[in-house]
């Protein structure tokens, strides 16, 4: 492939990377918030959140992307391609993250809370210094898997014209009439991105294990 083709692929990879990074960051925070709100068992709110997580997990990502981008003018506003892509990815990953966080919350030993409160520790302090770090450690494999699935599912945003890695690959193939080289290059870039993510997970797990000793 030419140098120009490589530059286009790297630009597409950067678009994929930053859109997914923003979506992942928001999805982690929102997913944790939903898990905690569901744990609070507020009747109406809990049902609303259950419906949201069920629908978001059941809806194909490409359908969600199209709906947000095409239907937004019906509600009196228009979303840009990048905004619709980020919103769709965030809504999707938030629902899955919420279930991962909720499982960690439900499996957390209640004895630790009772011991912390008996020692005079406040609820927020207990959550921040004792509960949350352990929830992060136990949830890390599931959360990283979800991040990987999101990155691998991100080509769905190309359907609304976002020039991400897969869309760039198709453009190069259409111009050069040689589909294999750009596809292999795109695969290598996806593997690199996810490989770095898995490496970071391994590093975080080792660091958490050292702190726990």
> Which CATH number goes with the domain that contains 123?
1.10.3720.10
Is the confidence at residue 186, as pLDDT, over 90? yes
Q: Is the pLDDT of residue 144 over 60?
A: yes
Other beta carbons less than 10 A from residue 5's beta carbon: 20
- Could you tell me the two tokens for 159? 């359907």
pLDDT, one tens digit per residue, over 55-89 is 999 999 999 999 999 998 888 888 999 999 999 99
Q: Which domain holds residue 57?
A: 3-153+164-212
Residues 6+ apart with CB under 8 A from 154: 16, 19, 20, 89, 164
- By the 8 A CB rule, do 64 and 95 touch? no
135 lies in some domain: yes
What is the per-residue pLDDT across 87-109, written as a single tens digit (0 to 9) for each?
999 999 999 999 999 999 888 88
Segment 42-50 shows an average pLDDT of 93
Q: Does residue 82 belong to any structural domain of this protein? A: yes
User: Is 85 contained in some domain?
Assistant: yes
Give me the pLDDT at residue 24, please: 97
Residue 212 has what pLDDT?
52
Share of the chain above pLDDT 70, in %: 97
Collect all residues with Cβ–Cβ distance below 8 Å to 128 and sequence separation of at least 6: none
Which region, left, alpha or beta, applies to residue 90 given φ > 0 means left and ψ of -120 to 50 means alpha? alpha
Residue 158 lies inside a defined structural domain of this protein: no
Contact 173, 193 (CB under 8 A): no
pLDDT for the residue 50? 95
Asked whether residue 92 is assigned to any structural domain, the reply reads yes
Which residues touch 149 (CB under 8 Å, ≥6 apart)?
96
Angle at 102 between CA 101 and CA 108, to 5 degrees: 90
**Based on the number of CB atoms within 10 Å of its own CB, is 156 exposed (0-12), middle (13-18) or buried (19 or more)?**
buried
159 belongs to a structural domain: no
Number of domains in the chain: 1
CA distance between the termini of the chain = 50
Indicate the pTM of the whole model.
0.91
The pLDDT mean for the chain works out to 90
């Amino acid at each position: 492939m030419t140098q120009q083709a490589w530059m286009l692929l790297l630009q597409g990879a950067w678009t994929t990377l930053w859109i997914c990074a923003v979506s992942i960051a928001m999805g982690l925070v929102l997913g944790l918030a939903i898990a905690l709100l569901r744990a609070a068992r507020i009747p109406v709110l809990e049902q609303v959140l259950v419906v949201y997580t069920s629908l978001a997990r059941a809806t194909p990502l490409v359908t969600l992307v199209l709906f947000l981008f095409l239907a937004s003018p019906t509600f009196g506003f228009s979303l840009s391609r990048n905004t619709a892509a980020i919103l769709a990815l965030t809504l999707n990953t938030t629902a899955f993250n919420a279930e991962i966080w909720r499982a960690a919350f439900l499996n957390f030993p209640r004895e630790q809370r009772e011991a912390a409160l008996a020692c005079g520790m406040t609820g927020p302090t207990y959550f921040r210094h004792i509960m949350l770090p352990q929830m992060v450690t136990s949830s890390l494999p599931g959360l990283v898997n979800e991040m990987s699935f999101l990155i691998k599912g991100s080509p769905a945003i190309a359907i609304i014209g976002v020039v991400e890695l897969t869309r760039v690959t198709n453009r190069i193939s259409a111009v050069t009439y040689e589909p294999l080289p750009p596809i292999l290059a795109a695969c290598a870039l996806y593997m690199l991105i996810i490989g770095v993510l898995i490496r970071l997970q391994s590093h975080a797990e080792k660091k958490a294990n050292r702190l726990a000793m």
